[in-house]
Structure 1
Amino acid sequence: MGNSFGCSASGERLVSAARDGDLIEAKMLLEFNPGLAKYSTFGGLNSPLHFAASKGHNEIVALLLENGADVNSRNYCGQTALMQACRHGHWEVVQTLMLYRCNVMKADYLSGRTALHFAAVSGHVRCIRLVVADFVASVPYETLHARVDADVGDGLNTKRKQEQSALCKFVNKTADAGITALHMAALNGYFDCVQLLLDLNAYVSAATYHYGTSMDLIGKWLPLDVARMWGRHWLEPLLSPSSDAVVSPFPTSNYLSLPLMSVLNIARECGLHSSTTSSNEIDFCAVCLERPCSVAAEGTRF
């Protein structure tokens, strides 16, 4: 939405409150005029929601969304609040935006990056796990994990590919010049992000194009090539598409088995995204993301 309120003094005050984390001021302004939640700065450069998300002010993010802010609104670069939160690693904000069913598939205008790209390039593994929550069923790892195995029949491989098509499409979505989230994580050497993306069936054979605006990755490079170019040698055993060397299997990412799809869907049904909900009630994902998860996925509703 554009700047429908003009150069509103109240709107600018809300922008300042969202940027500075002044929850009391934000509440006061929105009580007086809930429509301010849709305000944007001159020329649509940014909105209170974008400022709050980029700064990690989760309570203000929830307050703005409750008052009608568009969870999928874009700033002047085409970035959503989810992209801003993922870029800066504010996983609590990502959690709130996911509860409001933000569109994780959106890409920015400048480079075609999704929120997954922004999380991967900055090494924010918790954000990655939350962003893919609606694609990863709350089932045991062995059921979810369906890498194509050369030892099984073509029929079974075809079925596995179909079951994971939505997840694979998202995880391997390319930005400018064919860059995937795996390229981004490899570029900066984030082992835990690379590990999780591989467990989500990111393609180690995805190659960048010979053109684009992302200068660091221009050329035809695999994620392995990117890791080697930038000296991330500890990633080579994970990223090698084919290797004669005997490599010990690396452990499954601790984040993959978390039943976040079930947790998020239950929270959506119960209305736990409200800013009036007590902090003890809204820390549901913190249990999984901050310590080893012992919640059994079997028997969940979703």
Structure 2
Amino acid sequence: MGNSFGCSASGERLVSAARDGDFVEAKMLLDCNPCLAKYSTFGGLNSPLHFAASKGHNEIVALLLENGADVNSRNYCGQTALMQACRYGHWEVVQSLLLFRCNVTRTDYLSGRTALHFAAVNGHVRCVRLVVADFVPSGSIETLYAVTISDRSDGSNNKLKYEQSPLSKFVNKAADGGITALHMAALNGYFDCVQLLLDLHANVSSVTFHYGTSMDLIGAGSTPLHYAACGGNLKCCQILLARGASRLSQNCNGWLPLDVARMWGRHWLEPLLSPNSDLSVPMFPPSSYLSLPLTSALNIARECGLQSLTTASDDADICAVCLERACIVAAEGCAHELCVRCALYLCSTTNIPSESPIPPGSIPCPLCRHGIIYFVKLPCLSSKDIKLPLSLSLCSPCILHHKEQEQDTSETIDSPDTRKHHSSDMFCPVTCSPFPSAAIPFCTCNEGPCPNFESRENAPQEESPHCSQPVLEKTEDMRLEKTKCSNMFWGRRSYNRENRCNAEINA
């Protein structure tokens, strides 16, 4: 849409400024023509917001949004700026996009991934915490686990209510092949992400689609424990078993997690994944990245607007943390007053160790170390006195609204006719690679090379009833052929697109 303004030269200058982080150039161009914020490139339909989000230039992202940039704009691959920020782990950009009520439930056109998949595949746990903030209730840890505790009482109605909760639906949303965010975090060995996703009601027993999956070397119908066994991270396997994963679950090939570990040479997992294992699995406390007061801080920041985040009046109390901005929120319990930007920063960056005396999921007050469960807005500020920016006042409705979800799923751009209209030769200048950086190393031993399949053929070994020698010989050629490609979740065409996209974004 932005190309119809007849100023493509100025638009390309804004794209270059957004990619390079030139704030002065971007502000000068937007002051002359604010409509340039809606500009999009001809090839990949990327807006300047996509480039600024992928590079982590938070000031330019806020500048573009204040000048009317569409926070939910899509590129040629259907990816939003939120997906780009989550892919590269720019949590500050994710926070700014959430303040303008970006839609976190949108999926891309290539494989149906949400921003949660982009964050989990690369282990960006802070982005995961921010993306799910609107679904986590502001309350104690007992409130978050209320349905889980009632589910243990063997009640079918409670279990159905647990599975149909908005948080559970969003966290367990499946991408291409039925792969969830928990599958991707377990495969790449990101323990912090796995622990946080499990605390956010991720289904430990979810399986990929039975009719096939792009990760065919693990097998269709695989659980997150199968993917963790392929990745080879011991801690991920332990927490999955501690949260209810079964060692006896078989995929469509009849493989146990133990068989997957043997095929990929993860011999250190065999004592743990053995069906008759007598090893004790440690119990893990709630995730140290769980931040319950984040939702209340985000809602107050959205209500106050961006102007109150940076300015302070003469008669207002100054925040004792930053000594710059006016106090807008008060911590529950200790009633210490902070500015909303400091409250957001504390909720987004705090990593509380498990032995901390404060309640799980709360953050310590920077003034008295009291555990904060939620923030409340100070009554001295009235919403009538706050002037919201134009783009923030015209933001989309709440993402939890059912009409918004129905409208998003019925978009004409997702229709087959629209997809057919796009040419396959076009490529996305930012990214179009599903599940990037998911290459699995042949072996992760630190003490020396593990025995490969050729050496195991001549060595005596115990035959498993689920993983026999013909199965190893059958998968050997396919495994060696597929591991040459760094992208194991898409075809050759998308792999070529990934190389072209990376060269474009790093130019």
**Which TM-score applies when normalising by structure 2?**
0.55
In the TM superposition, what is the alpha-carbon distance from 1:211 to its structure 2 partner? 2.4
Taking the TM superposition and a 5 Å limit, the aligned residue runs for 1:212-291 are 212-213=213-214, 219-240=220-241, 241-242=245-246, 246-272=280-306, 282-291=341-350
Matched, 1:16 2:16: yes
Q: 1:90 and 1:274, CA in 2 relative to 1: closer, same or farther beyond 3 A?
A: farther
What is the CA distance between 1:236 and its match in structure 2? 1.1
Asked if structure 2 preserves the Cα contact closer than 8 Å seen for 1:66 and 1:274, the reply is: no
Contact kept in structure 2, 1:208 and 1:217, CA below 8 Å: no
> CA 1:13 to 1:218, structure 2 compared with 1: closer, same or farther past 3 Å?
farther
CA distance in structure 1 between the partners assigned to 2:201 and 2:307 by the alignment = 30
The DSSP-based 3-state class of the residue aligned with 1:147 is helix
How far apart are the structure 1 equivalents of 2:79 and 2:218? 21
Distance 1:155 1:33 in 2: 58
Structure 2: state its 5+ residue gaps.
Answer: 248-277, 313-321, 326-340, 353-362, 365-370, 378-507
Distance 2:178 2:208 in 1: 4
2:457 paired residue number:
none
RMSD: 2.5
Displacement of 1:132:
0.4
Percent identity (aligned): 65
Equivalences for residues 26-37 of structure 1 within 5 A: 26-37=26-37
**CA distance in 2 between partners of 1:194 and 1:188 (Å):** 10
Q: Secondary structure at the match of 2:283?
A: coil
How many Å apart are 1:251 and its aligned residue? 1.2
CA distance in 2: counterparts of 1:39 and 1:10, whole angstroms: 9
Partner of 1:297: 373
- 2: CA distance, partners of 1:114 / 1:299: 28
Q: Distance in 2 between matches of 1:108 and 1:55?
A: 19
Residue pair 1:148, 1:157 contacting (<8 A) in 2 also: no
Note the C-alpha offset of 1:148.
5.0
- Give, in whole Å, the separation in 2 of the partners of 1:284 and 1:118: 26
- What residue identity is the alignment partner of 1:289? S
Tell me if structure 2 keeps the 8 A contact 1:179–1:217.
no
TM-score (norm 1): 0.90
If each structure's helix is expressed as a fraction of its own residues, which one has the higher value?
1
CA apart distance, 1:44: 4.6
Q: Distance in 2 between matches of 1:172 and 1:262?
A: 24
Q: In structure 2, the residue corresponding to 1:3 is in which secondary structure?
A: helix
Q: Rg bigger for which structure?
A: 2
Q: Which residue is equivalent to 2:198?
A: 198
Give the CA deviation at 1:5.
2.9
Tell me the residue number matched to 1:89.
Answer: 89
- Give, in whole Å, the separation in 1 of the partners of 2:52 and 2:374: 36
Partner of 1:211: 212
Structure 1 gap segments, 5+ residues each: none
Q: Distance in 2 between matches of 1:50 and 1:151?
A: 44
Deviation at 1:76, TM superposition (A): 1.2
In 1, Cα distance between the equivalents of 2:110 and 2:82?
16
